[in-house]
Amino acid sequence: MFIKNNSLSYFYLFLFILVSQAHAQGLIGTYYGTRNFDGPPLITRTDSQISFEWMNTAPDPAMMADNFSVRWQGTITVNATGNYTIGLRSDDGCRVWIDDKLVVDAWKETGPTFFSGSVRLVSGRATSIMVEYFEATGGAVATLMAGLEGQAPVTVSADWLTPDIILPQGLPKVGVFSNDRRATEGRDRLSFTVYRIGGLGTPLTARLSLGDQVQAGVDFVPFSTDVTIPANLSAVSINVTPINNDIFNGLRTIDLLVNPSDTYARITDQPLVLEIVDDEREVPVAYTIAGEINSDIPMTGNFVLEVTPVINGELDITQQNIFTFVPSVSYSTPRLPANEYELWGFADSNENGRRDMDEPQGFWADGSVRTRVTLPPDRFDAHIRFKFLLDMSIPMDQNLSDEGLESDQNAGDMDTQVLVDAHINPNDMMLSADLEIQDKNIAVDQNLNDQNPNDQNNTESTTQPSSGCQQDQHTHLGLLLIALITMFISLFQFFTHRLR
């Protein structure tokens, strides 16, 4: 009878233990007296939630208020399947793993900040979770938060968590993770983290490969590709500094891959791609003069642009380029190699391929009929202007303003064009154009001076008649007066004759 009652007591005790374990909630927290889990743990306990505002107090009387670290482990089970935003509101650094995936890597000193990542969780399925945290000095905060994507994350409740630690089977697993996967040489740096799941009790060395697009010492400051994770640590971070040079190499990638080993298993056989962006612009080997001629008054014939190379300060007529375009349409020259050029343009009214005396020619803003430009330009705000006189008896007005040109330069691959955007101003009978430098990453604002000189609101940059123009006008008025007097005398003589 005694034996039967004793057996029954053991049965009830075993049943109590099973029921207690079935209803256990929270995560197992292991607390260390250093920032990086060095030395033996000071305390190990089950925390029902990770929801702490320790601020300037210690997590436990056995610990100090600063310079400590905590590792929480267990499972998380959600009640709705979907993509979740999960992370830690942390002061200072933290990392969060879900199964084999490192979803949060913010191992740095910081003020209270919510660091998060995205992961898919299945309703009712217990999923392994590990949270690491360290406190440096000052206030200490650690709050685990989660929520379906599109919803505000909230503190993870105790009934989502269990202290069951799911240990990986077989060899520890090794992976790589990065928050900063793109860096511009001379300005930024890359960083990545090598981490492991399991096998925390011993050091582990992972060997990495970097792909064949980069070369240590040429593209980045060399670092060891044999990365050792010390005992009791889950991860180490590596910084990569791109080398700044004056050579255009384009976009280069570091294809970071964990090599196979008989001491660990790879989490994935796909590389983590890091990008190094060149800060030099690719200089094209040829350039184009392009644009439009839009006329508000009739123009006949063609627009001819002569582009002559300048070699050692002299015009090389043997390599002269003569381009003919139909007015009022877009035009573009063939590609021209980098060099200095002299430009001259005229309206070929009779289409005989040359400029006759009665055909208007182009004048630049300085009053010259020819100007020189260097391709590629030495600056991005190059600004010159030319115009055609439709009546050669009217001298060109040289008092036009070049105000309003601004440029916004952005780094990027260069596709330069020299643009000539032209229009006719019917008020001063001139064809005006701006020559500007433009590529797909450089926006240029241009304000051509085509305002009406008679507009009362036009207080600046108006075109005033030149002295030569005034003299011609006086001459025309004198001729008109003589013609009127002659006509009056003829009429007087006519009527006098009829009266007789």
**Mean pLDDT highest for which of 36-40, 173-177, 416-420?**
173-177
Q: Would the pLDDT of 73 be above 80?
A: yes
Cβ(153)–Cβ(87) below 8 Å? yes
Amino acid found at 255: D
- Pairing verdict, β 330-332 and 289-294: antiparallel
Q: Would the pLDDT of 413 be above 70?
A: no
Q: Where are the alpha helices (DSSP H) in 236-382?
A: none
Tell which residue, 407, 424, 425, has the closest CA to residue 416: 407
Separation between Cα atoms, residue 494 and residue 499, nearest integer Å: 9
DSSP string, 37-67: --SS-SEEEEES--EE--TTS-SSTTS-SSS
Separation between Cα atoms, residue 405 and residue 8, nearest integer Å: 95
The correct CATH number of 14-162 out of 3.90.260.10, 3.55.50.30, 3.90.182.10, 3.40.390.10 is: 3.90.182.10
Cβ(102)–Cβ(115) below 8 Å? no
Percent above pLDDT 70 for the chain: 65
Confidence of residue 294 (pLDDT cuts 50, 70, 90): low
Give residues with Cβ within 8 angstroms of 280, minimum separation 6: 246, 247, 248, 249
Separation between Cα atoms, residue 393 and residue 472, nearest integer Å: 8
Confidence of residue 264 (pLDDT cuts 50, 70, 90): very high
Residue keyed to tokens 């139909």: 326
Q: Which fold has domain 173-277?
A: Immunoglobulin-like (2.60.40)
Tell which residue, 126, 108, 116, 119, has the closest CA to residue 164: 126
Give residues with Cβ within 8 angstroms of 243, minimum separation 6: 185, 217, 218, 219, 220, 221
Is 472 or 237 the better-scoring residue by pLDDT? 237
Separation between Cα atoms, residue 489 and residue 102, nearest integer Å: 106
**Residue 262: Cβ-neighbour burial (10 angstroms; 0-12, 13-18, 19+):** exposed
Q: Say how far residue 363 (Cα) sits from the centre of its chain.
A: 40
Quote the pLDDT of residue 443: 30
Confidence of residue 367 (pLDDT cuts 50, 70, 90): low
Residue keyed to tokens 């969060």: 96
Quote the pLDDT of residue 425: 35
Q: Would the pLDDT of 404 be above 50?
A: no
Separation between Cα atoms, residue 367 and residue 390, nearest integer Å: 16
Quote the pLDDT of residue 469: 40
- pLDDT (mean) for 293-318: 79
Quote the pLDDT of residue 143: 97
pLDDT digits over 137-146, tens only? 999 999 999 9
Q: Would the pLDDT of 261 be above 60?
A: yes
The domain spans of the chain are 14-162, 173-277, 286-452
Question: What is the overall mean pLDDT for the chain?
Answer: 75
pLDDT digits over 458-470, tens only? 333 333 333 444 4
* Number of helices followed by number of strands (H, E) in the chain: 2, 36
Is 246 or 171 the better-scoring residue by pLDDT? 171
Quote the pLDDT of residue 464: 37
Helix (H, G, I), strand (E, B) or coil at 2: helix
**376 preceded by a cis bond (ω within 30 of 0):** yes
| pTM over cut 0.85 | no
* Radius of gyration of the chain measured on its C-alpha atoms: 40
Tell which residue, 295, 373, 384, has the closest CA to residue 341: 373
What are phi and psi for residue 38, nearest 5 degrees? Answer: -80, 145
Cβ(267)–Cβ(174) below 8 Å? yes
Separation between Cα atoms, residue 412 and residue 173, nearest integer Å: 40
Amino acid found at 400: L
Least confident residue range of 121-130, 300-309, 413-422: 413-422
Helical (H) or strand (E) element with 472:
helix 467-499
What torsion, rounded to 10 degrees, do the Cα atoms 312, 318, 320, 321 define?
Answer: -140
**Residue 148: Cβ-neighbour burial (10 angstroms; 0-12, 13-18, 19+):** middle
Within 13 Å and on the Cβ side, how many CA atoms surround 447? 11
Quote the pLDDT of residue 35: 93
Confidence of residue 278 (pLDDT cuts 50, 70, 90): confident
- pLDDT (mean) for 319-345: 79
Residue keyed to tokens 């070049």: 402
Quote the pLDDT of residue 223: 93
**Mean pLDDT highest for which of 50-54, 360-364, 392-396?**
50-54
